Amino acid sequence: MLATRVFSLVGKRAISTSVCVRAHESVVKSEDFSLPAYMDRRDHPLPEVAHVKHLSASQKALKEKEKASWSSLSMDEKVESLCFLLHKCGFGEKWLNVAEEGAADLCACKWLSSLPPVYRIKFKESFAEMNRGSNEWKTVVGGAMFFIGFTALVIMWQKHYVYGPLPQSFDKEWVAKQTKRMLDMKVNPIQGLASKWDYEKNEWKK
């Protein structure tokens, strides 16, 4: 547990998301997977429970106000009230549709950084927040490049300390004589080697 705490310090999600999630205990509150749990998932828009189970005093007051007629709400409170939000979006009393990404983007994007408290009672993150990208790719790419580089070092060491010399037939003169012989034999004269040689001018075709 202590080790994963370290990761939370780095927690810009620059390394493994799952490891960082483990460090944040608020997400892994319930270990009993048979009970309904809250989750922020794109394909599961309506979690079985609300995010906040125990309402504070101000939150309870807001909920009571929401039940009454909305005309009694001030402009700010209208902005804060989730139900009014939905009504403005044209979804009427069907609060279910708040979870549709389209609606969320349409209405909630304007209030992205300051989503109303009523929303936050029901949901932990907005769709935009839960779908945000991360910096994990930089770590992955960097790690991959590092290990490729390390492999190159290993290969260089092998070439110097392990492998014997190349056979004679790799010497430049040998390869030159060999190529000349292959051209004399007209090896692959249709599309291959000999087809690239100009036999009249005695040079490679341009």
Site for another protein, rule CB under 8 A:
42-43, 101, 167-169, 171, 173-174, 177-178, 180-182, 185-193, 195
Smallest distance from another protein to CB 96, Å: 15
- Please report the DSSP string for 86-135 in residue order: HHHTT-TT-GGGGGSHHHIIIIIGGGGGG--HHHHHH-SS-HHHHT---S
CB of 104 to another protein, least distance (A): 12
Instruction: Give whichever of 88 and 181 is closer to another protein, judged by the CB atom.
Output: 181
CB hemisphere CA count around 74 (13 angstroms): 3
Measured on CA atoms in the order 63, 68, 71, 73, is the torsion positive or negative? negative
102-110 long-range contacts, Cβ below 8 Å, gap at least 24?
A: 104/128
How far apart are CB 166 and another protein at their closest, in Å? 11
Entry field: residues in the chain? 206
Minimum gap (Å) between residue 41 Cβ and another protein: 9
Q: At residue 82, what are phi and psi to the nearest 5 degrees?
A: -70, -40
In whole angstroms, how close is the CB of 25 to another protein at the nearest point?
Answer: 28
Task: Give 90 or 192: the residue with its C-beta nearer to another protein.
Answer: 192
Given the complex with another protein, which of 81 and 126 has the nearer CB atom?
A: 126
Q: How far is 178 from 169, CA to CA, in rounded Å? A: 9
**Pick from 133, 139, 130, 115: nearest CA to 27:** 130
Shortest separation between residue 46's beta carbon and another protein, angstroms: 12
Task: Report the residue number, 41 or 206, with the smaller CB distance to another protein.
Answer: 41
Q: Please, which residue, 30 or 131, has the CB nearer to another protein?
A: 131
Q: What is the DSSP string of 126-160?
A: -HHHHT---SHHHHHHHHHHHHHHHHHHHHHHHHH
CB-nearer residue toward another protein: 125 or 171 = 171
